Chains A and B, each alone.
Chain A
Amino acid sequence: MSDLRELYQEVILDHYRSPRNFGHHQPSNREAKGNNPLCGDKFTVYALVEDGMVKDISFEGRGCAISTASASLMTELLKGQTEQNAQAMFERFRGVVTGEQDQRLDDGLDKLNVLAGVRGYPMRVKCATLAWHTLKAALNQTDETVVTE
């Protein structure tokens, strides 16, 4: 059960129960939908991008504790970053949850280490990255719905 406690840490449960930046923030000029057809999780991610800066991010929809907490943490951490930085942070985050990257995240991303526990649950990596893939699509202004399964 100890690895389950690691997966469902208090931080994750807190962000699941009280997701930050939940609901569509106005104004926004980027948006994308993401869904995981395997479990029915669906998110819409909104962003306000000006002068290459991600000035605001919000999301709505419903998902499991892992996908919701990850979305909530993402909105907090990427707000105020440059688009370029946001993309780079996505790659680093992806590396941690897939297990491709072994070391813990630092310099501002250390909060995301709470999600590293999903690497033991390959089926759940898609939950952890759903909102991130969706934000990436929003920033790239891709029209297609993001699907992770």
Chain B
Amino acid sequence: MTDTASPTETAPRFDAAAIRDQFPILGTRSHGKPLTFLDSAASAQKPQAVIDAVAETYAFQYANVHRGVYELSERTSAAFEAVRGKARGLINAAHDNEIVFTSGATEGINLVAQSWGRANLGPGDEVLITEMEHHSNIVPWQLLRDEMGITLKVAPFDDHGVLIMEAFEKLLSERTKLVSVTQISNALGTVLPVREITAMAHAAGALVLVDGAQGVPHLAIDVRALDCDFYTFSGHKLYGPSGTGVLYGKADLLAHMPPWKGGGDMITSVTFEKTEFAAPPMRFEAGTPNIAGIIGMGAAMDWVAGLDQGGLAAHEDDLLAYGAACLSEIPGLRIIGTAPDKAAVISFVLNYAHPHDIGTVLDNQGVAVRTGHHCAQPVMEHFDVAATVRASFGAYSSRDDIDALVNALEIVRELLG
């Protein structure tokens, strides 16, 4: 994030308009106004390339995967399996078989909890998370805690929303078996130092799961450089279809993990006495997967790979800096989450209006923001707010979107101020 941006400066050159044109929904209207979409952290919109990939799968290349001897099934299987290679490339994993397809980041975390967790954790063992986790990285561990007697430890963050590394380090011990952390806070935008966290966790003998749901759309990911043991993300936040995702796990870890769901497509042989399970990743993919969705996620990965990565990062940094500068000038507005290292999310409250009322007024102006606790109630408690308004950005976002937000907030002031 640059600290030099101001509302009067010009935007850096990145052709967001050309990118925007690839998203049909961004040309639609809401409440009669042009749609200003500022909720990409909840789910990103889809470019035409992704929409076409899903439609063409159903139109011309659809059959169940891994089953048929017929040509159509083989073609579909090949397109489906090719996405493993794309995902491996996206996060720089070593092998395609380290890529497990899931329904999203939530399922990835639950998979680790139910498969690795049940096999490797016992009473007294600790799982360490942070205070800024999404509910999806809290509840799976609570379920395991209540069932198996493990202990859940929580590392706090400071009033800027920065993880307190000294406190985190103190919570690490020989009892810590897993550290499960988000890469970017969905509620605050804080970017966590996951590489450093991983090194500290490994030194303490713990494995590391990184929740990359918010990370993948905004950062270049290299799981081998991070050295994390598991990494999970969702396709739908990466401009892909909902109901898709990836769990990366180091090959030797996945090889020793038991299945967590039983069904077809995850076995080598079944009799009523005994079942031989398939090797990873198939072992973890019971049942017919979201075939067209996964193929669409592959198209989204291709689409993202085709962007000017440096330009995109600079564009998103500019939006964050410009947005923070514009919003900071609004009387009574407080930004929640002011970490120096932030990405693509601005959460805020107004001292005279409730986020839900703000959301309704903004919606009426065609501005779509998230209002509520963002599935991160502990974060809300930390700041003693019930909810915030969250504006979040994607590759297609522009300074115009922020200007529309600021103008709509002026109407909030007129009505509720």
Given contacts A1-B411, A121-B360, whether A40 and B353 have CB atoms under 8 Å apart is no
Name the interface residues of B339-362: CB closer than 8 Å to any CB of A: 353-357, 360-361
* B387 close to A (CB within 8 Å): yes
CB distance from A18 to the nearest CB of B (A): 14
State which of B371, B377, B386, B415 has its C-beta within 8 Å of the C-beta of A5: B415
How far, in angstroms, from A38 to B371 measured CA to CA in the complex?
9
Name the interface residues of B344-399: CB closer than 8 Å to any CB of A: 353-357, 360-361, 364, 371-373, 377, 380, 386-387
CB distance from A69 to the nearest CB of B (A): 10
How far, in angstroms, from A65 to B361 measured CA to CA in the complex?
12
Interface core residue of B353, B380, B386 (most chain A CB under 10 Å): B386
Complex interface: chain B residues within 8 A of A40 (CB)? 372-373, 377, 380, 386-387
Contact at A65–B387, with CB atoms within 8 Å? no
CB distance from B23 to the nearest CB of A (A): 24
Nearest residue, chain A, Cβ from B354:
A64
Name the interface residues of A60-115: CB closer than 8 Å to any CB of B: 62-66
Complex interface: chain B residues within 8 A of A3 (CB)? 364
Given contacts A8-B415, A40-B387, whether A63 and B360 have CB atoms under 8 Å apart is no
* B416 close to A (CB within 8 Å): yes
Interface residue total, chain A, C-beta cutoff 8 A: 21
State which of A38, A62, A65 has its C-beta within 8 Å of the C-beta of B357: A65
CB distance from B320 to the nearest CB of A (A): 25
0 or 1 for each of A28-54: is its CB under 8 Å from B? (1 = yes) = 000000000011111000000000000
* A7 close to B (CB within 8 Å): yes
Given contacts A3-B364, A8-B415, A13-B416, whether A42 and B386 have CB atoms under 8 Å apart is yes
How far, in angstroms, from A40 to B387 measured CA to CA in the complex?
6
The 8 A-B residue pairs with the shortest CB-CB distance, nearest first, are A40-B386, A64-B354, A64-B356, A40-B387, A39-B356, A65-B357, A40-B373, A64-B357
Q: Identify 19 residue pairs between A and B in the complex whose beta-carbon atoms are under 8 Å apart, listed by A's number.
A: A1-B411, A3-B364, A4-B361, A4-B411, A4-B415, A8-B361, A39-B355, A39-B356, A39-B371, A39-B386, A39-B387, A40-B386, A41-B356, A41-B386, A42-B386, A63-B356, A66-B357, A123-B360, A124-B360
